[in-house]
Amino acid sequence: MNPPKTDRRIKKTKASFTNALLTLLDEKDFKKITVTDIVTRADVNRGTFYKHYQEKEDLLNEIISDVLQNLEIAYQDPYTKKEHFSVETLTPSMVKIFDHVYAHQLFYKQAIQDKFQPGFQNQLCDVIRRIALRDFSVVLQKSPANPELHASYQAHAIFGLIVYWVQHDFAYSPAYMSEQLLQIIHADTSFTF
């Protein structure tokens, strides 16, 4: 049985709360933001807020959970429906992680600046690391490198590209970032000094 669909009005209201909180984070620290600030910015009454959340932390946790879930889907998109997958066959249009980040620009700007939850950057890298360990375990096992270290390296490299992109105010398109990621992955690593 399929789970019940969320009413469009609820989605719209929650999106208003999300946008309100993320824009307020441009102005002040999370600790200083009140529920009144959020509902005023969202132009929704206080009772509606409490119908969905007990406190502002619940809203933030829902935002983080939703974005991380969408990040996982975007990361896995190139290979989830494939019987056989090879990084060599990846094309920039298949890499969706930068489309995801671009669609959630406001969130990632706040996350990179550590505006709402200390340690979130580590949490984000950990999500990518866990996906790599789970989904690429066969590939990682074939590598002479420790699989945990390999996955950690991969996660932090991708996160580093995201940080650079955010800090440069999304100066490049998601397609360009995907193309650059693939060029980095496929770069000749036989350095000569």
Question: Which among 67, 63, 68 has a CA at the least distance from the CA of 16?
Answer: 63
> For 25-68, what is each residue's pLDDT tens digit?
999 999 999 999 999 999 999 999 999 999 999 999 999 999 99
What's the average model confidence in pLDDT over 69-89? 69
Mean pLDDT within 3-28: 87
**Rounded CA gap, 112 and 170, in Å?**
13
Q: What is the pTM of this model?
A: 0.80
For 161-174, what is each residue's pLDDT tens digit?
999 999 999 999 99
Q: What is the pLDDT of residue 17?
A: 96
**Contact between residue 114 and residue 122 where contact means Cβ atoms under 8 Å apart:** no
Domain limits, the chain: 1-54, 56-186
Q: So what's the pLDDT on residue 2?
A: 52
- Mean of the per-residue pLDDT values for the chain? 84
CA–CA dist 152, 163 (Å, integer): 16
Task: Please give the share of the chain, as a percent, with pLDDT higher than 90.
Answer: 45
What local confidence, expressed as pLDDT, does residue 5 receive? 59
Higher pLDDT, residue 140 or 94: 94
Give the single-character DSSP code of 175: H
Residue 3 DSSP class? P
Q: What is the DSSP string of 135-160?
A: HTHHHHHHSSS-HHHHHHHHHHHHHH
Query: For the domain 1-54, what is the CATH code?
Result: 1.10.10.60
What pLDDT sits at residue 193?
47
| pLDDT of 177 | 95
- DSSP characters for 30-91? GGG--HHHHHHHHT--HHHHHHH-SSHHHHHHHHHHHHHHHHHHHHHTTTTT-SS--GGG--
Provide the b/e sequence for 100-113 (b: ≥16 CB within 10 Å): bbbebeebbbbbbe
- The residue with greater pLDDT, 186 or 177, is 177
